[in-house]
Amino acid sequence: MDSAWQYKHWRQSQEWSQTFTPPATQTPWRWRCGWNCRHNFYPFFPGASEKNYTDQRLEELADPQKYEESQRRRALERRVRDAKRRYLAADAAGVDTGEAAARLKNARRELAQFLKENGLRQDSSRERVQGFGYQQARTASAAEKAYTKSKNDAIMIENLRSAGNLPRTAKIHLPPAEMDMDSLSFDDKHINGQRHHNITEEQAKHYIQNAAFSATVWGGQFERYYGIDGVAYVDIRANSIRTAFGKAEFDESLKNLVEEMKQNGLLGER
């Protein structure tokens, strides 16, 4: 079918619609669909029927750049709908929805960025999926935040392990493992008598309370507490602070560890 005939309204008579006037050289309407032509005609009732293509859509089709822009937009909107369906499927199956929620956030962000860059307005009707409403949006947002935090923490933990040369078997805790400070004893004989760290019990407990993170080592026998001011090792079985030392005694690995803690914001404003 000739492009001049496509998407238009016309009447089967000599009185043509105002929306389209066929060129004088055109053959009669009944010859418009030729060999291998997949176009067709459909009845249109003014005031009752709706156009398949709006004037805006026809303008997009006529302009190659706008057409490509519309195709990209439709693809991004489909991606949002697909991400919503994946989230609903994961939720219905009772599995962790974090990854699906993160996929949805990324799809929405890509679409929003595309619309902003091209000066377009969001059409939320093209992103709707049955069963995904306000409540689902809230739970998806919470699931995405938890999932992203978990991933970021996992990366941070491995960076801390590498910077501080911590054992591969060490279980790193963010935030530090809780400890009952009142019940802890202080091994002064070992810390000061044998190791000569010159640390008071008050200082050792300060290191624990202000630690950025802790690490369980030796099959769970010890909990190490790491902070900017010092380090303390707690013997879990004996419920005792086995050793502690200040930052003046930090070796190269611990200095690197402090820098890594700073880069990850574990030390606050300090």
Stretch among 6-15, 48-57, 115-124, 202-211 having the lowest mean pLDDT: 6-15
Pairing of strands 185-186, 240-246: parallel
For residue 237, the tally of other CB atoms under 10 A from its CB is: 8
Across 7-43, b (16+ Cβ under 10 Å) vs e yields beebeeeeeeeeeeebeeeeeeeeebeeeeeeeeeee
Average of per-residue pLDDT across 85-110: 97
Average of per-residue pLDDT across 12-29: 49
Q: For 243, list phi and psi in degrees, rounded to 5.
A: -155, 160
pLDDT, position 10: 64
Average of per-residue pLDDT across 241-268: 92
pLDDT, position 118: 92
pLDDT, position 19: 47
Is 56 a residue whose pLDDT tops 90?
no
Average of per-residue pLDDT across 116-123: 93
- Whole-number Cα distances in Å, 120 to 78, 114, 115, 152, 206: 17, 8, 5, 33, 56
pLDDT, position 267: 81
pLDDT, position 30: 47
- Whole-number Cα distances in Å, 161 to 101, 154, 214, 215, 249: 29, 11, 11, 9, 19
pLDDT, position 269: 46
99 in Cβ contact with 143 (< 8 Å): no
pLDDT, position 70: 86
pLDDT, position 8: 67
Instruction: Give percent of the chain above pLDDT 90.
Output: 70
